[in-house]
Structure 1
């Protein structure tokens, strides 16, 4: 695990911190589609993403979901940090976008390392900043983009996260992520195909414009 940590975080953390992470962290492997954090859970461990990708969702009072952002290797979730430090319930749902490897850090170490290691403090603050910017981008997308623009951006982002121009997803799954109906998504996907931006296949979509 130490060598994997150095490869994923060696450019961020000093060797002493990486060694501590290897000593106290627990390695977890999550299959694509599995939940990592559920809304209402108390979060007592902070995840460091070693491999794979995670999508972070918000839920409204009717139970409908909205995609907030994706996490990739070298990331952590700022909203998880807030829940850990504040000892509050999670307000997000985190799902593995593809097979994922995490190192889970105990909450007490998060507080200790904040005062002990400058690189850790910088990492935490930069994580808050990055996730805030991504949420602002999500708000801008909802407020200022048409649904067809939102859909195309979503498909492009998903292809980049999965490192594959072919996306395995049903129209209903996409509708959940974008907080709209399957009928709307199916109509817009057909329009994007006519425009030459995508190619529809059975339960998958090939992105022609990345």
Structure 2
């Protein structure tokens, strides 16, 4: 484990103050998690997980079975909902699935709490993660409550093609999960946008995306 500390610290500079003795605590382990691995809502956690590499999607499933993506956690980050469950000693209030293979360091809950108490830089990092995700969750709630589905689809497509692409590989099912609405609603709205000439649809693909034209729908 000690051999891996330099790499961990390079991903999480806030851990640079942690002493070698603390890194030697029993139970700190490295894990390699493969895509499709799922951690389900409602469990009590015995480790805090810091993601060194990869991507985890956090999501909720309603009583009716509808799924919505809350946010994603990438390398150099941790999940605030996980930290909240640990600090509040409550059940984990979301589900998580591995989208891209993850290398993680798992820290026993007692060790994690001790580090939070004793190391200011680590504590500040955790609080920053909370603040960042609160903003993301607030934006998600605003989008769900105040924007039309047409506006939400337009916003998603604009965000996902901000690298200059005019196409996106995504199914209607996946888009419905990302936006937390029914597949039929997604399909109907996309067909309407296609008729208006701002995108083209094919199996598993949305192409010829006119980002500037879509932007006018975002506030609708």
CA positional deviation for 1:87: 2.5
Which residue does the alignment assign to 2:32?
29
Counterpart pick for 2:44 among 35, 42, 45: 42
Q: TM-score, normalised by structure 1?
A: 0.81
CA positional deviation for 1:14: 1.9
Specify every segment of 5 or more residues in structure 1 that has no aligned partner in the other structure, as ranges. none
CA distances 1:60-117 after superposition (whole Å, capped 9, x unpaired): 2222222211212211111111211232211201112322222222101111111211
CA positional deviation for 1:173: 2.4
**Equivalents in 1 of 2:197, 2:105: separation in Å?**
41
RMSD: 2.9
Which residue does the alignment assign to 1:100?
102
**Equivalents in 2 of 1:109, 1:95: separation in Å?**
25
Q: TM-score, normalised by structure 2?
A: 0.78
Counterpart pick for 1:79 among 66, 78, 81: 81
Which residue does the alignment assign to 1:183?
184
Counterpart pick for 1:154 among 142, 150, 156: 156
Contact persistence 1:21–1:105 (CA under 8 A): no
* Max Rg structure: 2
Contact persistence 1:48–1:74 (CA under 8 A): yes
Greater shift, 191-200 or 61-70, is seen at 191-200
Aligned residues: 205
Contact persistence 1:5–1:22 (CA under 8 A): no
Specify every segment of 5 or more residues in structure 2 that has no aligned partner in the other structure, as ranges. 213-220
